[in-house]
Structure 1
Amino acid sequence: MTGAAAAGGGYASRSPGGVRVDHGVTSGTFSLDGGTWEVENNVWVLGDDEECIVVDAPHDAAAILQVVDGRRLVAVLCTHAHDDHITAVADLVSATGAPAYLHPDDEMLWERVSLEPPSAPLADGQTMSVGDVELHVLHTPGHSPGSCCFLVPALGVVFTGDTLFQGGPGATGRSFSDFDTIVESITDRLLTLPDETVVLTGHGDPTSIGAERPHRREWLDRGH
């Protein structure tokens, strides 16, 4: 397992109050349907110098805490409950006392990893505040039934987990996933955002809505 190294606010402009996005990467495994794969996950931390929100908690709580860097953790938001995105949630919650949020439609995946339920549910349209910005919850099923994206209009960023990547939709060839559903979610909830919106993904490099929108027909043609 590699540690997560903090990076500056290179993925979004800072808000007037100093809210930025910090980034790190952790390594571990993803297991589902009898298979196990080595993966690297992005760690995204949204906040100012005093408080922050962590988007997903993959593999290594100590490494994630390096990116948090002593700030008050307001919440851990789970884009979905595949094990590579939530294995460090319990340790992160224990270390900080922050609540962990998950959409209820992914509880069947969560229960494969943790005996303790999430602290609170996520709901479409829900908003949260950190520093001087608001984060909006978008329910975007398809990769999993409870997959969610988190839009921060003030910074022009959306955290998409495994729903949208550079190059198209996340995988749908496994249990609890559906290709038509993920394309509908991306079309209706994400491709309607401004072109310049930066897409911060669960794995790999960022992209933008403007870069991905023209390729929707290609995704449909190739299928899952």
Structure 2
Amino acid sequence: MRLTGRCRALRGLACLPPWTVNAGLVAGDARTLVVDTGANAAAAETILGYAEALRPGNALVGVVTEPHLDHMLGVATLRARGIPVHGHPRASRAPADLDAEIAEYATSIVDPARRDAGEAAVFFAGTRLEDPDRPLAGETALDLGGVSVELLFTPGHTPANLCVWVPAEGVLFSGDTVVEGYLPNLEAGGPAEWSEWLRSLDRIAALAPPILVPGHGGVLRGPAVQAGIARVRVILERALATGRPPTGPRAAPR
């Protein structure tokens, strides 16, 4: 999806049902930034194909917005091609996490014959788990040639969440700090993390981006940007008031 002359959104990449996940591209005159790498090697190859077509001849560089595997299971695919991948220093996972992801995916297969045949492995064919090789010492600006992007720390959903802000284009790639249409996943943290998430929402709301690409769901434009941020804020505030997230096992009423 074309957002601006330099920015693209890649929407609806396959993920654990019912989720799809988004990625993004920012093309400078010399380098193209890949924002998030998808939930498997096939998604990463698709993203790279679009990146190469957007501005042929550009060097490629990647960034992951968080350590959840739907955003970083393509890191190994990029690194195998010599593409550096930036990420928060805490964007790190253990090899056993991929096995757990495959097992969880298998539970989403309704037909028992397909499940027993191990068809979940098809989705993860060729996928390996690697961490970003360029951990960020702090918030960073990347010069892509003719355009600069800012990698902003926006913790809450996880301690390692980033947003990618392209001021000259008015585009923010929010990762899962904002999701659209889906209930945000609050289960990775608790009240302290949810409060931190609210502060991150305040920060990106103050940027007033004309276009926001969420980690999941539709692209937000114009007034829908602040409405989308406000929607996530209300869900967080409700979780803080009740002491429990909107999804997952429900605590007994107090």
TM-score (structure 1 length as normaliser): 0.76
Q: Specify whether residues 136 and 149 from structure 1 end up closer, same or farther in structure 2 by C-alpha distance, changes over 3 A only.
A: same
Structure with a larger share of its residues in helix: 2
Query: What do the CA deviations read for 1:188-215 (whole angstroms, capped 9, x no partner)?
Result: x211112x53111121111254334555
Structure with a larger share of its residues in strand: 1
Identity of aligned residues (%): 27
Query: Unaligned stretches of 5+ in structure 1?
Result: 1-6, 15-19, 31-36
Pick aligned residue for 1:52 from 32, 55, 72: 32
The answer on 1:93 being equivalent to 2:75 is no
Q: Separation in 1 of the partners of 2:205 and 2:158?
A: 19
Q: Which moved more, 1:167-176 or 1:123-132?
A: 167-176
Pick aligned residue for 1:66 from 49, 58, 62: 49
Pick aligned residue for 1:180 from 188, 195, 215: 195
Partner of 1:77: 63
TM-score (structure 2 length as normaliser): 0.68
Partner of 1:127: 141
Q: Specify whether residues 186 and 47 from structure 1 end up closer, same or farther in structure 2 by C-alpha distance, changes over 3 A only.
A: same
- Which amino acid in 1 is paired with 2:97? R
Q: Separation in 1 of the partners of 2:66 and 2:95?
A: 9
Task: Figure out how many residues of one structure are paired with residues of the other and give that number.
Answer: 201
Q: Separation in 1 of the partners of 2:44 and 2:131?
A: 18
Pick aligned residue for 1:155 from 169, 191, 203: 169
Pick aligned residue for 1:197 from 186, 192, 210: 210
How many angstroms does 1:43 deviate by? 2.2
Aligned to 1:184, the other structure's residue is in SS state helix
Q: Separation in 2 of the partners of 1:190 and 1:163?
A: 9
Query: Unaligned stretches of 5+ in structure 2?
Result: 99-127, 240-244, 246-254
Q: Separation in 2 of the partners of 1:214 and 1:22?
A: 24
Q: Specify whether residues 193 and 82 from structure 1 end up closer, same or farther in structure 2 by C-alpha distance, changes over 3 A only.
A: same
Q: Specify whether residues 116 and 100 from structure 1 end up closer, same or farther in structure 2 by C-alpha distance, changes over 3 A only.
A: same
- Which amino acid in 1 is paired with 2:198? V
Question: What root-mean-square deviation, in Å, do the aligned CA atoms of Structure 1 and Structure 2 show?
Answer: 2.9
